[in-house]
Every structure is written in structure tokens, then in C-alpha cells.
Structure 1
Amino acid sequence: MLEYEYQELRFPRGTSRSAARQALTEHAEYGRWELARVRLYPDGTRKVTLRRKIIRQNRFM
């Protein structure tokens, strides 16, 4: 069974698309995050949810 950890990012109304894209690209490349959900609110803010797999090692004795 896969387990994920989540991280939320919020972008205010005035954030350009290129700035948001650059921030998401850096999270994806260096932190191995993938896009899970984007919510656009009526006031113009965006809430982005990122996720990545949790890799657990089994301990055998």
C-alpha cells in the first residue's frame, strides 16, 4: 500500500502564472513532489496541494 505525504502552497491573487509555475517546478524537481490538486478561490487565490510517496524500508531480523 502506498503512503503519501502532503504539502500545501498558497499563491496570492497577484502571483503571475510564470512565478507559480517556477515554484511548482522547483518543488517537483528537487523535492520529488507531484501535483495532487489545485483550487481557485473566488478572491483569486490558489491553493495547490502537492504529494510525494513515503518510502519505508522493511526491517528483517
Structure 2
Amino acid sequence: MALGWADGQHRAMDYEYAPLRLPPNVDRLTAAAQLAIQAEFSGWELARVRLFRDGTRQVVLRRRRISPPPPGLSY
């Protein structure tokens, strides 16, 4: 049995999301470094980035939810 899969499609509820807003004074290199740190140490991955005309970035990070095993199963 594969956890997290139903009818061949991945369920959206298997992820948790963290929206971020980066101000226009944060350059691309700095933003990439900050996001890489979050990915490395907190398990986040980039889900979406929107760049607005004023230079603001709206970033959505996601990571897999860690769900406990069903009752009765032990590892």
C-alpha cells in the first residue's frame, strides 16, 4: 500500500504550505539563498513564485506532512 496516493493522483492534503512575501529591496540572489536555507534545514521546497511590478515576490513553500502510522502498526 502506497501512502499518499489515491487513484494514481497525489493528494494535496499531504503537503503543508507556507506563504512568504519578499520585499522589492531583496535581490534575486539573496532570495534564492534564503529559500535554499529553508529547503536545507526545514524540508521546504518551492511551490510557486509570483513577481509583481513593484519588485515584490510572493513565494509559496511546501513540504510533506509527517503523518503518524495508523494505529496497530509498529516499525
Task: Judge same fold: TM > 0.5, yes or no.
Answer: yes
Match of 2:71 in 1: 59
Q: CA deviation at 1:5?
A: 0.4
Higher relative contact order structure (alpha carbons within 8 Å, sequence separation ≥ 6): 1
TM-score, with length taken from structure 2? 0.73
Q: Which has the higher strand share?
A: 1
CA deviation string 1:16-61 (max 9, x = no partner) = 1221011101100000001100011122100110000002122217
Identity fraction in percent: 46
Q: Segments of 4+ in structure 1 off by > 2 A?
A: none
Q: Which runs of 5+ in 1 are unaligned?
A: none
Q: Which runs of 5+ in 2 are unaligned?
A: 5-10
RMSD: 1.5
Report the number of matched residues. Answer: 61
Which range is displaced more, 28-37 or 11-20? 11-20
Match of 1:34 in 2: 45
TM-score, with length taken from structure 1? 0.87
